[in-house]
């Protein structure tokens, strides 16, 4: 989609039609879902196990948390708040690069404070709605946000699950852990903003033909806000089923269409990721490779964490390598950088693409993320060697 397309040009009309409303936006296909399902079938044939064992492979706490957050995000979206916020934001922003810097910087900052997935739940739907009101490179903006949350969340112990795990393993203070991660995060953020500057031109934002002012539904918006607070509290107290029950009953009573809009395929993808990746990590060949590989410390540990993240995602890679790698700072840096590259490198990547509902999201993601991995990976490696 052209950044400076005229509102009267034929291709602009086509673009406007393709982004007519967030509800009508394409879901992005389920190719990854079928691929993961095929891998699960092959593994079941090669290494059969009891049906209940497959269920135990899934981290239901993560899947359940995502289900509740997806429903609450749908509630916010259907309340009209995102549309109203997008209209006000577009009224104040003057150029495309400034908007991209705001969205990308906001994603990086939020991810350090409220975790990477929650920041995506807040910003990606807003970005998608912005693209319904102006001619924006939606895929590029969303991919940059996915890169941003992977970079920003690496700074704090609470930014992502692997940091929380490693924080407890290192025994550092909160600020001590941040100091350990700061050099790597600085490199990632530097290249992130270079990418925004190069990939997003400083052109005026071209608005689409004006539509009716979004009608906000205060009741639904307030319900979503209350449910968000209650659900987070439930998760902290490990009351997952109670939290999910509250969200489901509340939306069924007030607005059942919210639950119909949940991306249930995303939840299936996440569940299958756990089933497939944990089985792959258990293969004897993998265990033997880890046992004999010289990856205990230094740059080898760092590179091993990056490579492992590309295949089994950075959170499982952290747990898998923890027994072999003794250099925890190298491991922490490697799995953070390893969130870039392949879409499986980080769960946040999948969440961003599914929330954006991009038909060719995987192609656009890898076109940017793989070069970004190479540049960041080498830069952080030089830092460690120095």
Identify any residues that bridge with 95 across adjacent strands, giving them in sequence order. Answer: 204
In DSSP notation, 204-260 reads B--BPSP-PPP---HHHHHHHHHHHHHHHHHHHTT-HHHHHHHHHHHHHHH-THHHH
Q: How far apart are CA 141 and CA 272, in angstroms?
A: 27
Q: Which helix (H) or strand (E) holds 91?
A: helix 81-92
Chain centroid to CA 143: 9
Token code pair at residue 141? 């903006």
Count of Cβ atoms closer than 10 Å to residue 41 Cβ? 10
Longest dimension (CA), the chain: 64
- Is residue 309 within 8 Å of 335, Cβ to Cβ? yes
Tokens 């490179």, residue?
Answer: 137
80: left (phi over 0), alpha (psi -120 to 50) or beta: left
Q: Which helix (H) or strand (E) holds 120?
A: helix 116-133
Q: How far apart are CA 344 and CA 47, in angstroms?
A: 23
Domain boundaries, the chain: 56-385
Q: How far apart are CA 217 and CA 225, in angstroms?
A: 12
Token code pair at residue 223? 């319900």
- pTM of model > 0.95: no
Token code pair at residue 29? 């296909």
| pLDDT on residue 283 | 81
| pLDDT on residue 212 | 62
Identify any residues that bridge with 313 across adjacent strands, giving them in sequence order. Answer: none
Identify any residues that bridge with 204 across adjacent strands, giving them in sequence order. Answer: 95
| pLDDT on residue 13 | 35
Average pLDDT of adjacent 10-residue blocks, the chain of 386 residues: 36 35 46 86 90 88 84 86 83 90 94 84 90 91 96 91 85 90 96 96 85 76 91 85 95 91 85 84 79 86 94 86 88 96 91 86 92 96 81
Beta strands in 63-128 (DSSP E): none
| pLDDT on residue 93 | 87
Token code pair at residue 130? 């912005």
- Is residue 260 within 8 Å of 98, Cβ to Cβ? no
Q: How far apart are CA 346 and CA 31, in angstroms?
A: 18
């Amino acid at each position: 989609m052209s950044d400076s397309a005229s509102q009267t040009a034929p291709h602009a009309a086509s673009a406007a039609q393709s982004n007519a409303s967030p509800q009508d936006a394409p879901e992005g296909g389920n190719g990854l879902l079928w691929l993961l399902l095929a891998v699960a079938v092959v593994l079941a044939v090669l290494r059969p196990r009891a049906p209940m064992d497959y269920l135990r492979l899934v981290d239901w706490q993560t899947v359940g948390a995502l289900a509740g957050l997806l429903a609450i995000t749908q509630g916010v979206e259907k309340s009209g708040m995102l549309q109203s916020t997008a209209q006000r934001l577009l009224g104040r922003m003057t150029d495309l690069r400034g908007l991209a810097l705001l969205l990308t910087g906001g994603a990086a900052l939020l991810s350090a404070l409220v975790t990477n997935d929650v920041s995506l739940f807040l910003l990606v739907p807003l970005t998608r709605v912005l693209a319904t009101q102006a001619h924006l490179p939606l895929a590029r903006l969303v991919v940059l946000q996915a890169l941003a949350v992977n970079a920003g969340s690496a700074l704090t112990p609470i930014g992502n699950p692997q940091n929380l795990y490693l924080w407890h393993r290192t025994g550092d203070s909160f600020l001590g852990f941040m100091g350990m991660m700061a050099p790597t995060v600085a490199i990632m953020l530097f290249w992130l903003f270079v990418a925004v500057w190069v990939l997003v031109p400083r052109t005026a934002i071209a608005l689409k033909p004006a539509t009716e002012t979004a009608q906000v539904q205060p009741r639904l918006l307030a319900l979503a806000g209350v449910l968000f607070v209650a659900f987070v509290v439930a998760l902290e107290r490990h009351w997952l089923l109670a939290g999910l029950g509250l969200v489901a009953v509340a939306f069924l009573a007030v607005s059942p269409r919210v639950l119909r809009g949940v991306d249930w395929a995303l939840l299936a993808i996440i569940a299958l990721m756990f089933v497939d990746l944990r089985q792959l990590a258990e293969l004897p060949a993998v265990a033997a490779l880890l046992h004999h590989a010289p990856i205990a410390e230094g740059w080898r540990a760092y590179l091993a964490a990056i490579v492992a993240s590309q295949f089994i995602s950075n959170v499982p890679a952290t747990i898998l390598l923890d027994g072999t790698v003794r250099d925890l700072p190298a491991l922490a840096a490697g799995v953070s950088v390893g969130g870039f590259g392949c879409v499986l490198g980080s769960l946040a990547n999948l969440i961003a693409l599914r929330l954006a509902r991009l038909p060719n999201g995987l192609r656009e993601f890898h076109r940017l993320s793989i070069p970004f991995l190479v540049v960041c990976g080498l830069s952080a490696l030089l830092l460690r060697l120095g």
